[in-house]
């Protein structure tokens, strides 16, 4: 029997990660416990091959097809890929698993669903039962299986990384960071987190000896020298005894890894733990979530071991200071706009973070600022009515994974009665962008893989770039219009206009550096004329770039690059009172610039033969 395990695209692949340990574990278990051969195909990895073969997923030999829907962002891909597969393989047993199926199995069990089974939580044992049933020619299993967590991870067979042999040769092309997991589960219940959807909250790990074996096995198949290794465990090293022995073993490993990266919590570590992580060549990511005590209480963060949120923040300050002494790299994730957030809590969080990054004697960490995302299966999702009643939270698209622009719709909510979506986004940018800049200036980690961590610092600064905000404003206007507001248009948005005016200053300066100084009236016209008003709305984020921008899908008509207008009008030496005839109006940007130059006493006539463009102009 042949089994296909199919990844529609791993969420972390865009970050330069290579691995699929969850599918390798499933494949290894299935082959060890059933009479089958398992094949793994990843559609993202496939595109990196010299000769990709996307058609292989339709091979008639596959009797069981398991699709990984890792997160809610992959829901539509997973569902409609299965629809296509069902057309080609009507008799194959189709299975789906992952975080989203665990949180919302009903999304895969409707009358039009192509799936035979949905797996909640860990998939090894449910997949074994499905394969066994198909081999027996039976069909008695329920449609929804699990959760069936593996209590003893050492009972799992060795991970067979040859299951990724098709992609091992291009792994560095995909990314120089390898992913692996050594434990499962998290006993904490952070309000925003999907982890609880998998059913088992107990923390379980390979024994340290077995974990070391698995790391060596991974290195034999996929040499780790010169790479970073991201241990994707929800909470690495929760138990002190395991953590201590594991770090000792990893400190002795000679795999040539540039740096291990794992996720932990400030309230489960002490100074000696941080030193042990440092000796083992680790960096750590922390879910800090907020610098405001009140928000930490709402998020359910910081109460571990009888401590308080205030103790949690104090502990983090101490860890940041010790990290600086050790030259130890760290990252801290902060959520803005979490249900219950107010403008006052945003300000308090920003003030605490600003003090942290300014006052830590040696800053070797970075702050990652993320908008809150409404994840299904999280405690908030399960109790949204309570958040609506208590805080006035409004989630505008509760099933955002069904729609386009999920990066926007997942975040589109009013956190509280006193803080709506738009104000939250504006205030967050104003409050946290300076913190990202301070981190960029003060970040001083100089150890192994320093360039890796510097890229994270710089990427956070780029998140506050005006173009990123323009993408958000464009999507917000689109969805307001889809929801019945015909006046919503990002081209008429005052915040967008201000951001684009800011960007035009830089563009005009670059034009002058390249082509020489412009006459002041021409320079003023280029700065003042809102080029975005002459573009399709989906192109607004490009409005201040010095490039030609298409006005239609055909690309036959464009708005010329800004330097082209600057050079042409410089050569024409347009003056107040001049008359100008322009052939080829486009949508009118060039004529509008010329009108500013010739003034009220001049005259501009422009001719356009394309009726669609003429109507826009």
pLDDT of residue 16: 80
Specify if 118 maps to a domain: yes
The predicted-structure confidence for 172-206, as pLDDT tens digits, reads as follows 988 899 999 999 999 999 999 999 898 878 999 99
pLDDT of residue 12: 46
Specify if 42 maps to a domain: yes
Considering the domain architecture, whether residues 542 and 432 belong to the same structural domain is answered as: no
The predicted-structure confidence for 5-17, as pLDDT tens digits, reads as follows 999 986 544 568 9
pLDDT of residue 305: 67
pLDDT of residue 221: 95
Domain that holds residue 458: 290-464
Q: Which residues contact 188 (CB under 8 A, 6 or more apart)?
A: 235, 265, 300, 304
Three-state DSSP class for residue 7: strand
- The enclosing domain of 140 has a CATH number of 3.40.50.280
Considering the domain architecture, whether residues 496 and 446 belong to the same structural domain is answered as: no
Considering the domain architecture, whether residues 457 and 548 belong to the same structural domain is answered as: no
109, containing H or E segment: none
The predicted-structure confidence for 522-554, as pLDDT tens digits, reads as follows 999 999 999 999 999 999 999 999 999 998 877
Phi-psi region of 9 (alpha: psi -120 to 50; beta: other; left: phi over 0): left
- pLDDT band of residue 423 (cuts 50, 70, 90) is very high
Considering the domain architecture, whether residues 500 and 425 belong to the same structural domain is answered as: no
Number of domains forming the structure of the chain: 3
Considering the domain architecture, whether residues 535 and 420 belong to the same structural domain is answered as: no
Q: How far is CA 141 from CA 118, 299, 335, in A?
A: 11, 38, 41
Count the Cβ atoms, other than its own, within 10 Å of residue 463: 16
Specify if 265 maps to a domain: no
Specify if 439 maps to a domain: yes
CB 14 within 8 A of CB 73: no
What is the rounded CA–CA span in Å between residue 606 and residue 598?
14
Count the Cβ atoms, other than its own, within 10 Å of residue 483: 10
Considering the domain architecture, whether residues 422 and 522 belong to the same structural domain is answered as: no
What is the rounded CA–CA span in Å between residue 250 and residue 282?
9
pLDDT tops 70 at residue 438:
yes
The predicted-structure confidence for 128-151, as pLDDT tens digits, reads as follows 999 999 999 999 999 999 999 999
Specify if 601 maps to a domain: yes
pLDDT tops 90 at residue 306:
no
Considering the domain architecture, whether residues 308 and 397 belong to the same structural domain is answered as: yes
Q: How far is CA 334 from CA 193, 278, 296, 341, 412, in A?
A: 13, 23, 11, 13, 18
pLDDT of residue 15: 62
| 162 vs 199 pLDDT, higher one | 162
Q: Which of 237, 244, 223 lies closest to 184, judged by CA?
A: 237
* Helices and strands per DSSP (H, E), number in the chain: 24, 21
CB 489 within 8 A of CB 532: no
Considering the domain architecture, whether residues 519 and 393 belong to the same structural domain is answered as: no
CA triplet 267, 98, 146: central angle to 5 degrees? 95
Considering the domain architecture, whether residues 505 and 406 belong to the same structural domain is answered as: no
What is the rounded CA–CA span in Å between residue 52 and residue 46?
5
The predicted-structure confidence for 323-374, as pLDDT tens digits, reads as follows 999 999 999 999 999 999 999 999 999 999 999 999 999 999 999 999 999 9
Domain-terminating residue out of 80, 111, 145: 145
Count the Cβ atoms, other than its own, within 10 Å of residue 314: 14
Specify if 606 maps to a domain: yes
CB 41 within 8 A of CB 20: no
Q: Is 537 exposed, middle or buried (0-12, 13-18, 19+ CB in 10 A)?
A: middle
pLDDT of residue 240: 97
Domain-terminating residue out of 145, 163, 191: 145
102 is known as an active-site residue: no
The predicted-structure confidence for 583-595, as pLDDT tens digits, reads as follows 989 999 999 999 9
The predicted-structure confidence for 264-279, as pLDDT tens digits, reads as follows 999 999 999 999 999 9
Q: Which of 301, 463, 435 lies closest to 370, judged by CA?
A: 463
Considering the domain architecture, whether residues 372 and 520 belong to the same structural domain is answered as: no
pLDDT of residue 614: 83
Specify if 243 maps to a domain: no
This model's pTM is above 0.85: yes
Q: Is 519 exposed, middle or buried (0-12, 13-18, 19+ CB in 10 A)?
A: middle
pLDDT of residue 307: 81
Considering the domain architecture, whether residues 10 and 100 belong to the same structural domain is answered as: yes
- The enclosing domain of 590 has a CATH number of 3.40.50.150
CB 351 within 8 A of CB 299: no
Domain-terminating residue out of 145, 166, 183: 145
pLDDT tops 60 at residue 481:
yes
Considering the domain architecture, whether residues 445 and 497 belong to the same structural domain is answered as: no
Active-site annotation holder among 11, 308, 560, 570: 560
Q: Which residues contact 241 (CB under 8 A, 6 or more apart)?
A: none
CA triplet 137, 140, 146: central angle to 5 degrees? 120
pLDDT of residue 613: 87
Q: What is the mean pLDDT of the chain?
A: 95
Specify if 84 maps to a domain: yes
Q: How far is CA 252 from CA 84, 214, 255, 273, 354, in A?
A: 49, 15, 9, 17, 38
The predicted-structure confidence for 70-116, as pLDDT tens digits, reads as follows 999 999 999 999 999 999 999 999 999 999 999 999 999 999 999 99
Q: Burial code of 242-279, b = ≥16 C-beta within 10 A, e = fewer?
A: bbebbbeebeebebebbbbbbbbbbbbbeeebbebbbe
The predicted-structure confidence for 551-609, as pLDDT tens digits, reads as follows 887 777 899 999 999 999 999 999 999 999 999 899 999 999 999 999 999 999 999 88
Distance of CA 216 to the CA centre of its chain: 30
- The enclosing domain of 332 has a CATH number of 3.30.750.200
Residues in the chain: 617
């Amino acid at each position: 029997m042949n089994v296909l395990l199919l990844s529609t695209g791993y969420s972390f692949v865009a970050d330069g990660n290579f691995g699929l340990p969850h599918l390798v574990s499933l494949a290894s278990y299935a082959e060890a416990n059933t009479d089958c051969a398992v094949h793994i195909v990843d559609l993202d990895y496939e595109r990196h091959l010299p000769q990709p073969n996307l058609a292989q997923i339709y091979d008639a030999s596959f009797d069981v097809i398991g699709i990984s829907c890792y997160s809610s962002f992959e829901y539509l891909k997973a569902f409609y890929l299965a629809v296509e597969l069902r057309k080609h393989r009507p008799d194959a047993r189709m299975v789906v698993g992952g975080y989203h199926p665990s949180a919302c199995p009903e999304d895969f069990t409707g009358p039009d669903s192509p799936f035979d089974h949905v797996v909640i939580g860990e998939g090894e044992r449910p997949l074994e039962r499905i394969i066994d049933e198909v081999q027996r020619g039976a069909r008695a299993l329920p449609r929804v299986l699990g959760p069936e967590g593996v209590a003893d991870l050492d009972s799992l067979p060795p991970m067979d990384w040859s299951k990724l042999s098709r992609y091992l040769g291009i792994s560095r092309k995909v990314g120089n960071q390898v992913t692996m997991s050594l434990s499962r589960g998290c006993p904490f219940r952070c309000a925003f987190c999907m982890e609880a959807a998998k059913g088992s909250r107990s923390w379980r790990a390979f024994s340290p000896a077995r974990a070391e074996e698995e790391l060596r096995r991974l290195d034999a198949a996929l040499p780790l020298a010169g790479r970073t290794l991201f241990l994707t465990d929800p909470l690495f090293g929760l138990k002190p005894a395991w953590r201590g022995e594991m770090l000792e073993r990893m400190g002795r490993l000679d795999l040539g890894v540039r740096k291990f990266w794992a996720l932990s919590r400030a309230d489960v570590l002490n100074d000696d733990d941080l030193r042990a992580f440092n000796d083992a060549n680790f960096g750590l990511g922390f879910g800090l979530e907020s610098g405001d005590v009140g928000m930490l209480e709402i998020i359910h963060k910081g109460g571990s071991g009888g401590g308080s949120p205030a103790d949690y923040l104090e502990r983090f300050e101490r860890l940041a200071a010790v990290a600086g002494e050790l030259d130890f790299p760290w990252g801290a994730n902060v959520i803005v706009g979490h249900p219950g957030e107010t403008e006052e809590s945003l300000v308090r969080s920003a003030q605490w973070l600003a003090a942290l990054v300014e006052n830590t004697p040696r800053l070797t960490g970075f702050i990652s600022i993320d908008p809150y995302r409404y994840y299904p299966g999280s405690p908030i999702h399960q109790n949204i009515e309570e958040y609506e009643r208590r805080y006035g939270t409004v989630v505008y698209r509760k099933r955002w994974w069904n729609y386009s622009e999920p990066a926007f719709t997942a975040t589109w909510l009013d956190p509280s009665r006193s803080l709506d979506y738009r104000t939250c986004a504006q205030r967050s940018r104003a409050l946290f962008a300076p913190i990202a800049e301070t981190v960029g200036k003060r970040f001083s980690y100089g150890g192994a893989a320093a360039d890796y961590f510097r890229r994270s610092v710089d990427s956070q600064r780029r998140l506050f770039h005006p173009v990123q905000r323009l993408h958000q404003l464009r999507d917000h206007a689109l969805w307001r219009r889809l929801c019945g507001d015909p006046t919503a248009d990002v081209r008429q948005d005052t915040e967008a206009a201000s951001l684009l005016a800011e960007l035009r200053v830089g563009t005009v300066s670059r034009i002058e550096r390249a082509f020489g100084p412009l006459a002041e009236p021409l320079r003023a016209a280029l700065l003042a004329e809102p080029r975005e008003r002459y573009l399709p709305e989906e192109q607004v984020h490009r409005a201040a770039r010095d490039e030609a921008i298409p006005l239609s899908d055909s690309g036959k008509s464009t708005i010329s690059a800004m330097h082209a207008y600057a050079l042409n009008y410089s050569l024409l030496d347009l003056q107040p009172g001049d008359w100008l005839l322009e052939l080829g109006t486009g949508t009118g940007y060039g004529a509008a610039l010329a009108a500013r130059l010739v003034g009220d006493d001049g005259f501009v006539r422009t001719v356009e033969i394309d009726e669609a463009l003429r109507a826009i102009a």
